[in-house]
Amino acid sequence: MTPGEPSRWLRGGERVLASTRVLELRSVRYRHPEGGPERDFVVAHAPDWVNVVAVTPGGLLVLVRQFRFGSGGLSLEIPGGVIEAGEDPVAAGLRELAEETGYRGGSARLLGSVHPNPAIMDNRCHFVLVEGAAPAGPVKWDDDEEIEVLTAPVADVLAWARSGAITHSLTVAALMFFEGARRV
């Protein structure tokens, strides 16, 4: 432990509070490393997610708009979804892009990864950049998915992410990473 660094608590046992299709809510016991208290913390366990920044050869970014059952409204986002067990994040990104929008990519690579919420969630969200994206087949939506596919110039989408016109925090964060990659 570096001087001044906060303590890293030690993880103990856990019990499941509720198990659902999208996440499992757990109570996890942690112990302070310096013989301190033991406490239970709520952790939402979920598989890793992937979000895809897909750019066409003409410099347009591929967006999706759909009804979201958490917020109860329409949301403008980049494509994305749940990574399957054992699936590579880049492969998952290309799969989600194709399923949700019908677009397929030229090249694809990992832009970076975040914790959607390190305070209460244990998973990560990976951001994948797909360049040379073009319409290449029918969409393949999940049950209950009904998705509007749009494209817009990169500069416009970045401005929407900075101004609050895009409100999904993971889409905003992905576009911050994308902006970083463009400056290198």
Catalog residues that contact a second copy under the rule CB under 8 A: 4-9, 11, 17-18, 20-23, 25, 27-28, 30, 37, 39, 41-44, 65-75, 112-122, 124-125, 144, 146-148, 159, 161-164, 167-170, 172-173, 175-177, 179-181, 183
Instruction: Output the CA torsion sign for 86, 56, 137, 148.
Output: positive
Place of tokens 């029918």: 138
Q: How far apart are CA 31 and CA 67, in angstroms?
A: 41
Q: Is the Cβ of residue 16 or residue 136 nearer to a second copy in the bound state?
A: 16
CB 139 within 8 A of CB 101: yes
CB of 75 to a second copy, least distance (A): 5
Q: Is the Cβ of residue 58 or residue 73 nearer to a second copy in the bound state?
A: 73
CB of 167 to a second copy, least distance (A): 5
CB of 51 to a second copy, least distance (A): 10
CB of 132 to a second copy, least distance (A): 23
Q: Is the Cβ of residue 73 or residue 138 nearer to a second copy in the bound state?
A: 73
Helix, strand, or coil (residue 10): strand
CB 63 within 8 A of CB 70: no
Q: How far apart are CA 184 and CA 166, in angstroms?
A: 25
